[in-house]
């Protein structure tokens, strides 16, 4: 059963804490993406990676970090520097440049 | 910014009616895609239209693209209550980076 999985579904962060969101794909896609979605809004690009061991900042990278050590995995860390992290986070992958993006089910991050 | 913008922001229709959503963007594109999002879920790809295409169909969906006006439209014919969702257009640049609009929220009343 191919696709993208994200975990956890809900994540709670305490003040000053770093948290990591997981994204795994078994579609053999090279490119992977992280987006942030605020209520009633569209998607904003945080980071993307076109190949293993390489990634680029998106439009709102401040306060976030990523790694791409394996083709299948692209975890996102929300650091304590991100002052307003409450949002819905979506991971996606594509099979080629400009092709269809496949999305995971999302992780909702809430601040305690 | 290359970000697309959908119009209208919200649309409410009766089941069986057609729904039309529009998307405008600012710079040249390779492809334009439409996605659907049910509340609290991930996005699902609906249709991709390339910059050299003018119209594309998929089931009850019809997409048009006018590159001279930098705009696209998505038509859903004979709408159903299950079509209730948010619809987003997305464009891509030459560097495999995607730009999403803020979406049209469609409500189909049974």
Q: Which of B3, B42, B97 sits opposite A48 (nearest CB)?
A: B97
Strands B104-109 and B10-14: parallel
Specify the length of chain B in residues: 110
Q: Which of A40, A99, A104 sits opposite B42 (nearest CB)?
A: A104
pLDDT in tens, A13-56: 888 899 999 999 999 999 999 999 998 889 999 999 999 999 99
Q: Which of A100, A94, A98, A34 is nearest to B35 (CA)?
A: A100
Mean pLDDT across A59-71: 96
B81 φ, ψ (degrees, to nearest 5): -55, -35
Contact between chains at A105 and B41 (C-beta distance less than 8 A): yes
pLDDT in tens, B47-75: 999 999 999 999 999 999 999 999 999 99
Question: How many angstroms separate the CA of residue A42 from the nearest CA in chain B?
Answer: 4
pLDDT in tens, B27-41: 888 899 999 999 999
Q: For A15, which DSSP code? A: T
3-state secondary structure B10-56: EEEEECCCCEEEEEECCCCCCEEEEEEECCCCCEEEEEEEECCCCEE
């Amino acid at each position: 059963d191919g696709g993208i999985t994200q975990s956890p579904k809900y994540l709670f962060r305490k003040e000053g804490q770093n948290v990591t969101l997981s994204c795994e794909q078994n579609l053999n896609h090279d490119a992977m993406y992280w987006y942030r979605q605020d209520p009633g809004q569209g998607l904003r690009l945080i980071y993307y990676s076109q190949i293993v061991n390489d990634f680029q900042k998106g439009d709102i990278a401040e306060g976030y970090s990523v790694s791409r050590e394996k083709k299948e995995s692209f975890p996102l860390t929300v650091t304590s520097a991100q002052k307003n992290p409450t949002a819905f986070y979506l991971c996606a992958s594509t099979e080629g440049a400009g092709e269809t993006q496949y999305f995971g089910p999302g992780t909702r991050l809430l601040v305690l | 910014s290359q970000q697309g913008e959908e119009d209208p922001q919200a649309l409410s229709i009766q089941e069986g009616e057609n729904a039309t959503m529009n998307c405008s963007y600012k710079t040249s594109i390779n492809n334009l895609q439409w996605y659907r999002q049910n509340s609290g879920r991930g996005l699902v790809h609906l249709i991709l239209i390339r910059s050299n295409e003018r119209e594309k169909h998929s089931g009850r969906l019809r997409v048009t693209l006018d590159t001279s006006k930098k705009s696209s439209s998505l038509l859903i014919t004979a709408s159903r209550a299950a079509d209730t969702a948010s619809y987003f257009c997305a464009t891509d640049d030459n560097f495999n980076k995607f730009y999403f609009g803020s979406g049209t929220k469609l409500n189909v009343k049974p």
